[in-house]
Amino acid sequence: MKPGITYGATDEFGYHAAENPVHVHDLHATILHLLGIHHEQLTFRTQGRDFRLTDVAGKVLNDIVT
């Protein structure tokens, strides 16, 4: 991960993402990638159903990794 970078921007009050919004699933996928865990293969079973931490929409944010 690049040290000391800022990814995206907010409005003047910090309420809304104005540039490069990131979903929490994308953040989880990126953190798992940095830990060496493939986020699409990490599943857990609860109530008889398999779930993933990143759901079906998570993607690694390569802009902040490389």
| Residue ranges of domains in the chain | 21-65
* % residues pLDDT > 90 (the chain): 56
CB half-sphere exposure, 49, CA atoms < 13 A? 4
Model confidence at 13, in pLDDT bands (50, 70, 90)? very high
Q: How many CB atoms lie within 10 A of CB 28?
A: 17
Place of tokens 């060496």: 36
pLDDT at residue 33 tops 90: yes
Give the pTM: 0.79
Alpha-carbon span 23 to 36, nearest angstrom:
20
Alpha-carbon span 22 to 46, nearest angstrom:
27
- Average of per-residue pLDDT across 18-43: 91
In this prediction, residue 29 carries a pLDDT of: 93
